[in-house]
Amino acid sequence: MIDRREFIELATSASAVACSSTQPKRVARTTQPLAKPLFVATWPFGKPACDRAVEVAGRGSMLDAIEQGIWVTEADIKNASVGIGGIPNSAGDVELDACIMSGPDHNAGSVAGIQDILHPISVARKVMEETIHVMLVGEGAKQFAISQGIPATQLLTDQQKQKWIEWQKNNHKRPEVDEDNHDTIAMLGLDEQGDLWGGCSTSGWGYKIPGRVGDSPIIGSGLYVDNAVGAAGATGVGENVMRFCGSFLVVEMMRGGANPTDACQMAVERIASMDPKRGINDLDINFIALSKNGEFGGAGTSNGFKFSFAARDESGVRDGRALSEKPIGPEGGNRK
C-alpha cells in the first residue's frame, strides 16, 4: 500500500488514481494559481461557459459572470443534460434545477423542478437577491420567475420528445451515462479581491420520476462556497452526492489543509467508505474545487470515460482532463 505522502505526490503531479481493481478513477492536476478573475467549470461544455464568464467579468460583476457563463450551457440545444434540449422526466416534461452562491455575504438562491424557464440560474439569482428565501420549487418557482419578467419557454425539443417516445417503448431503459449524456454544469469563480462565487445548473436524471430533485440545487451538495476557504461543485448521480453533502465535504477538506485535487479525492474516498451498498465504481460522482489562493483541481469516479473540466483566466483556457493513470494500493485495490 502507498502511504499518504506518496498519494499526495501522485495527485499533485496529475496522476490518476484507481477506485477499484476494474475501473480507475481519474484525478486532474492542481495547477499553479492563474491570473484573476479565474473560472473553473465541469465538462467540455464548461470551456465556452468559462470563456463567456471571463468576458463578462471584464465589464460586470462576478455574479453576472457566473450567471451569464452558465447561460451559454443552458441555451445550448445540443446539450442533453442542461437547460433547453435536456432529457425530460418520465412524464415527458423538462424539469430544471439550479443554484447560485455569493461568497462575500454567504448568500444563496436556488430553484428545483422548474419548468418552461430557459435560464433557471437567473431565477436562482432572483430568489437570492429579491426574496428572503433560499429555494423555490416547481410551479411556485415558475410563477415567481414570470413575476420577475422572465418569460416562459418551451424546453422540450422535437428530438428529445421523439427519444422520450422511444424510451417509453423500450421498457423504460435508463439512458447510458457517457461523453454525450452526463449532467450538470458547476462553475466556480475567484475575483481580484480573493472573493469566491459559484453556480450550478442541470436538467437532472433523464426520465426521472416527476418531482425528483438531485444535488445540483442543494446548497452544500451540488455547490458550496466558503469565502474564507474555497468553493466546490459536483456532477454525477445526485443521490450519491446529496446523501453526504459532497461539495461541503470538499470545502471542509480544503479547510483542513488539503489542496483542491486532494480535497476532491478525499471526499470521494470518504463517501465510498461510508456507502454500505455501492462500490466506488457505482457512485458516479465527480467534484471540482477552487481555493482562495487560486489553486484548482478535481477528482471523480470513472464510468468508462474521463471526467474533465476547464479553467480559464484572461490568458486563455486550460483543460483539466487527467493526463495519466495509476492505481492506488496492491493490484489497484481501493485505498481506505
Per-residue pLDDT tens digits for 225-256:
999 999 999 999 899 999 999 999 999 999 99
Q: Which residues are catalytic?
A: 184
Q: What's the rounded mean pLDDT across residues 126-136?
A: 98
Whether the per-residue pLDDT at 335 is higher than 90: the answer is no
Q: Please, which residues bridge with residue 110 across strands?
A: 99, 135
**Distance separating alpha carbons of residues 228 and 246, to the nearest angstrom:** 18
Whether the per-residue pLDDT at 147 is higher than 70: the answer is yes
Beta strands of the chain (E only): which ranges? Answer: 26-28, 38-42, 96-102, 107-114, 135-137, 185-190, 196-202, 223-226, 230-236, 285-291, 296-300, 309-313, 316-319
pLDDT (tens digit, 9 = 90+) per residue, 156-208?
A: 999 999 999 999 888 666 655 555 555 799 999 999 999 999 999 999 999 99
Distance of CA 238 to the CA centre of its chain: 10
pLDDT at 277: 72
**Whether residue 104 has a cis bond before it, omega within 30° of 0:** no
- 239-276 CB burial, b ≥16 within 10 A, e <16: ebbbebbbbbbbbbbbeeebbbbbbbbbbbbbbbeeee
Nearest CA among 225, 269, 272 for reference residue 247: 225
CATH code, residues 4-321? 3.60.20.30
Write down the mean pLDDT value for the chain: 83
pLDDT at 333: 25
**pTM score, whole prediction:** 0.85
